């Protein structure tokens, strides 16, 4: 196996593991913030009038976090956005 291929595989594995770990802790943040006390799972879907892109999802979660005083840091908000995207929205373009 070439050295470049090995390095690429190693970096990919680290990225995948970090993404999984972040979304796992994000689910905890989501549950601790009691997001479902205001939102039902049926609301977590692509809607042209509200959430129609990954960027818009991030904006909505950021506003919700601010309005409910979750105390999340910017990276925690980003993790929750990744969790919601992974489990509900499935936006492929993450910008």
What angle, 0 to 180 degrees and rounded to 10, lies between the N-to-C axes of helices 74-84 and 3-32? 100
Alpha helices in 3-73 (DSSP H): 3-32, 54-67
pLDDT of amino acid 3: 66
pLDDT for the residue numbered 17:
45
> How many other CB atoms sit within 10 Å of the CB of residue 61?
22
The pTM assigned to this predicted structure is 0.73
- The 10 Å CB-count burial string (b at 16+, else e) for 73-87 is eeebbbbbbbbbbbe
Q: What is the pLDDT of residue 18?
A: 47
**For the chain, which residues score pLDDT lower than 50?**
10, 12-18, 21
The number of angstroms, rounded, from the C-alpha of 19 to the middle of its chain's C-alpha atoms is: 9
């Amino acid at each position: 196996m070439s050295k470049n291929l090995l390095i690429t595989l190693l970096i990919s594995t680290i990225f995948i593991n970090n993404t999984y770990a972040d979304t796992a802790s994000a689910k905890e943040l989501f549950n601790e913030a009691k997001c479902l006390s205001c939102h039902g799972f049926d609301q977590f879907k692509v809607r042209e009038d509200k959430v129609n892109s990954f960027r818009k999802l991030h904006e909505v979660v950021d506003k919700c976090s601010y309005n409910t005083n979750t105390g999340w840091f910017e990276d925690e908000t980003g993790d929750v956005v990744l969790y919601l995207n992974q489990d509900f929205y499935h936006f492929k373009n993450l910008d």
